[in-house]
Amino acid sequence: MKYDLKEFEALVKEGYLRKSEKGDLVLYGYTDKTTFDRNWNQFTKVARGLILNATTGGSFYSDQCQVAQTMLKQYNMVTIPDHITLLAEIIYPENKIIVDYKGQKKLVLLGAFDRTTGEEVPPEQAEKYASLMFMEYAKKYDHTIEQMIALQKTLPKDDEGFVVRFNNGLRVKIKGEEYLRIAKIISQMSPISFWESMEEGVVKRDYLLQIPEEFRGEYEPIVKELEDQYVAVKSLVAASAVRLGFDKLKVEDPNWRRTVGIYLKQNEIPHSAAIFPFLLESKNALDKYILKAIRPDGNSMKVME
């Protein structure tokens, strides 16, 4: 498929594409404005790092890009003409999402593009490039669309699916049902989703059991950290109340609430807002406070002081 690179530059000026440069390489990626305006055309649809020599995830400095640049050194790149940009899939253990590649670390060539024209080179030529570089080329299948759709229903999770390439260069990915089932579950398994399932300081076990057993070990540390943080905050609140004598004051002084309130107003102590719920044995209020205190920031665990 042939593209006029001037069109990419025009879309950058209009705010529909972002541009990143490093040396003689240029990366175009679609922006939020493209998504909001639904301005999907032949240029914005392919502006996903397609014109780079390795997958970048939208940045020249992403982890995937840095690993790919290192991995490229093991291939015979001098055999590739300067005007050719390679499209490759990066595989390494730390980049695993669902498919287990058994520790493999490699690049798999998917295709190649002529940077001067924007055209994709014929698959036969791309396969020759792979052979010259001693790089694996994507496995080809001779299935019909109907056969692939039928296979899609029975593929195991470690066979993600197929990429169908039409004669005009358009590619469509068909993913296996089992892969999609697991992907849907895992997409919901984040620190914030586990936090939302907590009751009285414990992540619901039936929520955790939704994850296939072979992936459960990856998420159990998140669950443990959340539960440990809950206990730590609750213990700190209790320790503060005892250390300051509030527990005894509650028994001995009819006006203990006023005394405690004045002290908390005039002094800074950790989690002071949880002192009254603790002393009043208000489990719901205390639970609500602690959950708010340990709430993950987005999908990142909160660092507790």
In this predicted structure, the answer to whether residue 42 has a pLDDT above a threshold of 70 is: yes
Do 99 and 203 lie in a common domain? Answer: no
Q: What is the pLDDT of residues 143-163, one digit of tens each?
A: 888 888 888 888 887 888 888
Do 119 and 49 lie in a common domain? Answer: yes
Do 107 and 203 lie in a common domain? Answer: no
Low-confidence winner among 18-32, 124-138, 216-230 (lowest mean pLDDT): 18-32
Do 11 and 135 lie in a common domain? Answer: yes
Do 136 and 150 lie in a common domain? Answer: no
Is 305 part of any domain?
no
Q: What is the pLDDT of residues 58-96, one digit of tens each?
A: 455 567 778 887 888 899 989 999 899 888 888 898 877
Is 304 part of any domain?
no
Is 300 part of any domain?
no
Is 301 part of any domain?
no
223, 208 Cβ separation under 8 angstroms:
yes
Is 299 part of any domain?
no
Is 287 part of any domain?
yes
In this predicted structure, the answer to whether residue 55 has a pLDDT above a threshold of 50 is: no
Do 205 and 166 lie in a common domain? Answer: no
Do 70 and 12 lie in a common domain? Answer: yes
Between CA 298 and CA 296 the distance in angstroms is 6
In this predicted structure, the answer to whether residue 22 has a pLDDT above a threshold of 60 is: yes
Is 166 part of any domain?
yes
Q: How far is CA 289 from CA 90, 197, 258, in A?
A: 44, 15, 21
Note the pLDDT of residue 49.
56
Do 163 and 272 lie in a common domain? Answer: no
Question: Total domain count for the chain?
Answer: 3
Q: What is the mean pLDDT of residues 176-192?
A: 81
Do 134 and 43 lie in a common domain? Answer: yes
Do 160 and 95 lie in a common domain? Answer: no
In this predicted structure, the answer to whether residue 258 has a pLDDT above a threshold of 90 is: yes
- Average predicted confidence (pLDDT) for the chain: 84
Is 94 part of any domain?
yes
Of these ranges, 14-28, 71-85, 96-110, 227-241, the one predicted with the greatest mean pLDDT is 227-241
Q: What is the mean pLDDT of residues 115-144?
A: 90
Of these ranges, 143-147, 208-212, 261-265, the one predicted with the greatest mean pLDDT is 261-265
| Domain membership of residue 166 as a residue range | 142-178
In this predicted structure, the answer to whether residue 273 has a pLDDT above a threshold of 80 is: yes
Q: What is the mean pLDDT of residues 194-209?
A: 87
Do 167 and 273 lie in a common domain? Answer: no
Low-confidence winner among 67-81, 126-140, 175-189, 284-298 (lowest mean pLDDT): 175-189
Do 212 and 128 lie in a common domain? Answer: no
